[in-house]
Amino acid sequence: MPAKQHTVLDSPYGPLTLVATDGVLSALYMTDQRHRPPEETFGVPAPEPFGEVISQLTAYFAGERTTFDLPLDLHGTPFQRSVWAELLKIPYGETRTYGELAEELGKPGASRAVGLANGKNPVGIIVPCHRVIGASGSLTGYGGGLDRKQRLLAFESGGGRNDGVQPLF
């Protein structure tokens, strides 16, 4: 059975629970996140495997980093993993629609399935599911809540300013 560990990190968007499986980041959950598993599945509390994750998140929230360079252990169906791989290609400060992602995957009629896979992304922020919007440009769905999605998009489009909210690290 894989060894799991977790730690909780304060952020401008509320506490983030980081989970590692065998020492590799496998989840980043926000409070009240849809599809958040029970806390007893997060493993033992331990900050050791999260040093680089915390460092990169701190730089991101300070507006000093626009990409992440972290090993990830993402568990999902092959289709979900293909959607998550496409999410990683969306540049900082830009958005894509569910339909555009479906087109990129060669499945132009699968925007709804893309949305479902997007919602199951286990590593929010780092795998930037917040950068996906509705066809009309509307903010539709976000596992961490639409308020967080709006704030993350505003942060990225504003050149890395947290609207006066200072990182809590």
**Which DSSP state fits 67?**
S
Q: How many Cα atoms sit within 13 Å of 80 on the Cβ side?
A: 12
User: Could you tell me which of 116, 52, 139, 59 has the C-alpha nearest to residue 92?
Assistant: 59
Q: Are the C-beta atoms of 20 and 50 separated by less than 8 Å?
A: yes
Q: In degrees, to the nearest 5, what angle opens at C-alpha 24 toward C-alphas 22 and 27?
A: 105
Q: How many Cα atoms sit within 13 Å of 93 on the Cβ side?
A: 9
pTM equals: 0.87
Q: What is the pLDDT of residue 161?
A: 53
CA–CA dist 154, 91 (Å, integer): 14
Phi and psi angles of residue 9, each rounded to the nearest 5 degrees, phi first: -125, 130
Active site residue 129: yes
> How do the pLDDT tens digits run along the chain, 169 residues long?
679 999 999 999 999 999 999 999 999 998 887 778 888 999 999 988 899 999 999 999 999 999 999 999 999 999 999 999 999 999 999 999 999 999 999 999 999 999 999 989 999 999 999 999 877 766 776 666 678 888 899 999 885 555 544 333 3
Number of residues that make up the chain: 169
> Which entry of 129, 132, 133, 153 is annotated as an active-site residue?
129
β-strands 132-133, 24-30: how paired? unpaired
Q: What is the pLDDT of residue 128?
A: 94
Q: What is the pLDDT of residue 138?
A: 63
Cα radius of gyration (the chain): 15
Q: Are the C-beta atoms of 55 and 64 separated by less than 8 Å?
A: no
